[in-house]
Amino acid sequence: MSDDNMKMPSFSEIKYVRPSVQEFRECAMSTRLKLMAARDPEVVEAAIMSFEREMSAFDTACTICMIRHDLDTADQFWTDEIDFFDENYPVVSELSAGVYAALLHSEIRPQLEERFGPMIFRKTQNQRDIVSSEVLEELGEESSLETEYSQILSEADILFEGKHQTISTMTPFLESTDREVRKKAHQAVSDYFMSNKEKFDEIYDKMVHIRTTIAKKLGFKDFVELGYKRMERYDYDPEKVKTFRDNIVKYIVPITSEIRRLQKKRLDVDRLYYYDLPCLFVHGNPTPNIPKEEYFHTGCQMFAKMFSKEPSFFQVLGEHDFMDLFSRQNKATGGYCASLLDYGIPYILMNANETSDDVATMVHESGHAYAALRSIDSSQFIECLSPTLEACEIHSTAMEYLSYPYMEMFFGEAADAYREQHMTLALLFLPYGCLVDEYQHEVYANPDMTPQERHATWRRLEKKYQPDIDYDNDPFYEPGGAWMKKEHIFTSPFYYIDYCLAQVCALQLWDLSRKNTKKAMTIYDHLCSAGGTKTLIDLVESSGLESPFSVDVMKKLAYQVCDYLNL
C-alpha cells in the first residue's frame, strides 16, 4: 500500500477474473526448463520472478474469491468459484513444487542461495520431505476424515430450552451469570458430545492410523516427526517443546490455581465446577461502552495514536473497504486477515456483535494486517513474505497487548476489567494449549492406543495442566472426553502449541511496553517487517526478544503477571 491514497483501489473496484490453469501450467513448465538449463544467476532470477508473478496472480484471485464468498455465502457465483479453486489449487501447488525442485537441484545452487537467501531453499526442501506421490491416496483419505469431523460439528443441533442451537450459538449460555442456566447449557453440550462420542472416536482412530501410515511411508519414525515438518519447525524439536511445557507447569499452572481460587470467592460458590469456569466476573464479562458502529472510527483514532501516524493504516484500509467488521445474515462466521498479494493489501473480515471479544478480535486481526503491510517488500518470494504460523500469531497477539493503554476508548470505566479479563484468559490458555500439545505427542507416539486409552491419557494430562477442574462426575468429561471439542486436535495436528509460543513472545512485548513503549514499538515493527525471511527463534532473537523456550523468560513473566493481576 503506498502512502499516496490516490493510487490505492477500493476493494469493490478490484476486478476478478478466473485464472487459467492451462496458462499457469505452461508458465510453470517453461520456467522449470529455463531453471534446469540456466548457468547464469541473472537468468534464473528473471525466470523465477516471472513465475512468482503468475503464482501471485493465482493466489490473489483465490483470495478475492474467498473474501467475496465469505461476504455473501448465498451468492452461487462465488460458491462455484470456490469449487474451482478447491479443485485446482492442489494442481497449481504441485506445478510450483516442480519449479522449486528445479531451483533446489540447480548446478549453480550456491550462487542462487547467496542471491535469494537460504529460506526459500529450506522451505522447498521441507515441502519435498512431506509430500510424495506414494502418499497421495492417504492424504486424500486424511482430508476427507477432517471434512467429516468438521461437517458433523458444524451441523450440531443442540436442543436447549426448547430452541435449536449450534455449538457457537451456545456460547452466551455457557458463560451466563445465572448458574442454573450455564449448568444446563454445559450439560446440553456434554450430552451432544456423549451421543457422538463413538463416531468421533472412530474418526480420530482412523486419522491417527492414516497419519502414521503417511509418516512411515515418507520415511519418518512416527507422525510426531512428520507433524513437526508439516508445521515448519526449523529451529526447535519435541525436546525443546517439552521444556516449554514443563516451564508452564512449573511457573504458570500455580498462577491459574490462584486465579480459580479468587474466581470461586468472587462467584461465592462452595465448589467451582467446570460449568462455572467461563464466568469470570459476577456481573458478566465487560462489554464495549460504544455502539459497534463506532468501532471503526475509534479504531482509527487508537491506531493513529499508537503509531503516531495519521491517517493510520487501519483508517486507510477501512476507507478503501478492505474490512468488513459486523456480523450479519449470509456472512461467513469467524475472523481472519487475508492478503491480496498482487496489491500488497490485507483484508480484515470479522463478525462483531457487541461483546468484549469484538475489540480483541479487531485488534488481533489488525496486527496481522499491519504485519502484512510492513513485510510486503521483505522477500522476492511470496512464500517468504509471512513467517511460520507461531510467528504470525506474535504479530496479532502482541498488538492486543500494545493496545492496552487505549482500551478506555472502547470500554470507558470497564477498561480495567477488560484488561484483567484479557490477561487472565491469556494465562489460563497457556496450560490448556500445552495440554492439547502433550496429548497429541502421546497419541502419535503410541498410535495403537485404544479410544479408551486415549480418553484416559487426556484425563491424566488434564490433571497435570488443569488440576483445579471439577467435572461433577459428568459422564462425558470425567472419563476424559473434553479433547473431542477441540477442532485443532482433529484437523490441524500439532498446531496448538503455536498459540502458546506466540503468547510468551507477545507477553514479553507487553512487559517491555509498560516500561519503554517506544522500544517495544520498535521491536514490534522489526518483527513485522522481517516477514518470513527468518525461522522462529532467529526472528525473535534478532528482533530483540528472548526465545520463548527460555526458563528465565517464563519466570520473569510469571512474576510480572502476578504483580499486574494482584495475585
Q: Could you list the residues that contact Zn ion (CB under 5 A)? A: 396
Which sign does the torsion angle of CA 26, 32, 37, 43 carry? positive
> Which of 396/503 has CB closer to Zn ion?
396
Cβ contacts of residue 199 below 8 Å, gap of 6+? 152
> Which of 335/480 has CB closer to Zn ion?
335
Instruction: Give the span between the Cα atoms of 381 and 52, in whole angstroms.
Output: 7
> Which of 106/361 has CB closer to Zn ion?
361
> Which of 92/394 has CB closer to Zn ion?
394
> Which residue is closest to Zn ion by CB?
396
> Nearest distance from residue 296's CB to Zn ion, in Å?
20
> Which of 72/487 has CB closer to Zn ion?
487
> Nearest distance from residue 368's CB to Zn ion, in Å?
6
> Nearest distance from residue 403's CB to Zn ion, in Å?
14
> Which of 263/396 has CB closer to Zn ion?
396
Instruction: Give the span between the Cα atoms of 490 and 35, in whole angstroms.
Output: 39
Closest C-alpha among 9, 117, 109, 101 to residue 64: 9
Instruction: Give the span between the Cα atoms of 336 and 368, in whole angstroms.
Output: 9
> Which of 135/423 has CB closer to Zn ion?
423
Instruction: Give the span between the Cα atoms of 236 and 232, in whole angstroms.
Output: 10
Can you say how many angstroms the Cα of residue 244 is from the centroid of all Cα atoms in its chain? Answer: 19
> Which of 339/396 has CB closer to Zn ion?
396
Task: State the DSSP string of 46-103.
Answer: HHHHHHHHHHHHHHHHHHHHHHHHHH-TT-HHHHHHHHHHHHHHHHHHHHHHHHHHHH
Peptide bond into 479 cis (omega under 30): no
* Residue 385 and residue 376 in contact, taking contact as beta carbons nearer than 8 Å: yes
Residue 518 CB: number of other CB atoms within 10 A?
Answer: 9
> Nearest distance from residue 337's CB to Zn ion, in Å?
7
> Which of 418/499 has CB closer to Zn ion?
499
The residues with which 346 forms a beta bridge, in sequence order, are 339
Instruction: Give the span between the Cα atoms of 53 and 24, in whole angstroms.
Output: 10
> Which of 231/461 has CB closer to Zn ion?
231
> Nearest distance from residue 103's CB to Zn ion, in Å?
30
Long-range CB pairs of 172-175 (<8 Å, 24+ gap) are 174/275, 174/278, 175/278, 175/279, 175/284, 175/285
Closest C-alpha among 277, 202, 244, 221 to residue 472: 277
First and final CA of the chain: distance in angstroms?
A: 45
Cβ contacts of residue 395 below 8 Å, gap of 6+? 367, 368, 370, 371, 527, 528
* Residue 534 and residue 222 in contact, taking contact as beta carbons nearer than 8 Å: no
Can you say how many angstroms the Cα of residue 479 is from the centroid of all Cα atoms in its chain? Answer: 29
Three-state DSSP class for 316?
A: helix
> Nearest distance from residue 268's CB to Zn ion, in Å?
36
Altogether, the residues listed in the chain come to a count of 567
> Nearest distance from residue 102's CB to Zn ion, in Å?
34
> Which of 61/372 has CB closer to Zn ion?
372
> Nearest distance from residue 397's CB to Zn ion, in Å?
7
> Nearest distance from residue 138's CB to Zn ion, in Å?
30
> Nearest distance from residue 55's CB to Zn ion, in Å?
24
> Nearest distance from residue 202's CB to Zn ion, in Å?
32
> Which of 170/348 has CB closer to Zn ion?
348
Can you say how many angstroms the Cα of residue 502 is from the centroid of all Cα atoms in its chain? Answer: 10
Nine cell digits for residue 35: 531453471
> Nearest distance from residue 393's CB to Zn ion, in Å?
5
Q: Which residue type occupies 374?
A: R
